[in-house]
Chain A
């Protein structure tokens, strides 16, 4: 079955960087885009960007431009999301999600379990 398994919880200090991994299994990793979404406590999800694992092409929300980088290692079917210059407002659960194209209109049919990131001095 399709599975996305993310790296564990992190505690970071303001100004530090973060790198979350998302290991895919149960499908051909390069066939579907991976999106990253975060969710602060009590808030709705917030889209951060997308990556095509086949080409490596990416697209980021303007809010995160210059601070976020999405990459992948196809040999181990793993996607990564790096966020720099962390601030307290970046405290959230970060999710990777598989995006379906075509008639699914890019809906997310599979999600990672989430990675809690706490930014605190």
Chain B
């Protein structure tokens, strides 16, 4: 199975900050990498697919980059509604696997 490792596991940031979350795959996954945002008690929401494509309706302050084994989700200017947990997911090979999550908290 492909292991997905996110870092950091949590971070504290202020509104307006630039935030970067990384996701590393245990083997190359090309760009078969998706990012989701999850708020407490809710289902995850798709933000980025294919490593760098912005899902329709998602604010442009979210961006994704990377290929192979190393990926980054960047929030250019953190907004109050962005405080949540973020997960990466690889869909390169079965079983599809998720990272353990990065919780973004208010500083």
Chain A residues packing against B (C-beta within 8 Å): 35, 43-47, 59, 61-63, 95, 97, 100, 103-109, 111-114
**A100's closest neighbor in chain B, by CB?**
B49
Give the complex CA separation of A45 and B90 in angstroms: 12
List chain A residues, Cβ under 8 A from B43: 95, 97, 111-114
Enumerate 14 A-B pairs (CB-CB under 8 Å) in ascending A order: A44-B101, A45-B98, A47-B96, A97-B43, A100-B49, A103-B50, A103-B53, A104-B50, A104-B53, A105-B50, A108-B34, A109-B55, A111-B43, A113-B43
**B97's closest neighbor in chain A, by CB?**
A47
Give the complex CA separation of A103 and B52 in angstroms: 12
Contact assessment for A59 and B46 in the assembled complex, using a CB-CB cutoff below 8 Å: no
The count of A-to-B residue pairs whose CB atoms sit within 8 angstroms is 59
B69 at interface by CB-CB < 8 Å = no
Contact assessment for A107 and B87 in the assembled complex, using a CB-CB cutoff below 8 Å: no
Q: How far is the CB of A31 from chain B (nearest CB, A)?
A: 17
Chain B residues packing against A (C-beta within 8 Å): 31-34, 36, 43-46, 49-50, 53, 55, 87, 89, 91, 94-101
Contact assessment for B95 and A105 in the assembled complex, using a CB-CB cutoff below 8 Å: no
Q: How far is the CB of B35 from chain A (nearest CB, A)?
A: 9
Give the complex CA separation of A116 and B55 in angstroms: 28
**B45's closest neighbor in chain A, by CB?**
A111
Interface of A is mostly: mixed
The 6 tightest CB contacts between A and B, nearest first, are A111-B43, A107-B49, A106-B91, A61-B95, A107-B34, A47-B96
Give the complex CA separation of A114 and B95 in angstroms: 21
List chain B residues, Cβ under 8 A from A43: 100
Give the complex CA separation of A103 and B50 in angstroms: 7
List chain A residues, Cβ under 8 A from B91: 105-107
List chain A residues, Cβ under 8 A from B94: 59, 61
List chain B residues, Cβ under 8 A from A61: 94-95
**B29's closest neighbor in chain A, by CB?**
A105
Contact assessment for A108 and B31 in the assembled complex, using a CB-CB cutoff below 8 Å: no
Q: How far is the CB of A40 from chain B (nearest CB, A)?
A: 12
Q: How far is the CB of A112 from chain B (nearest CB, A)?
A: 7
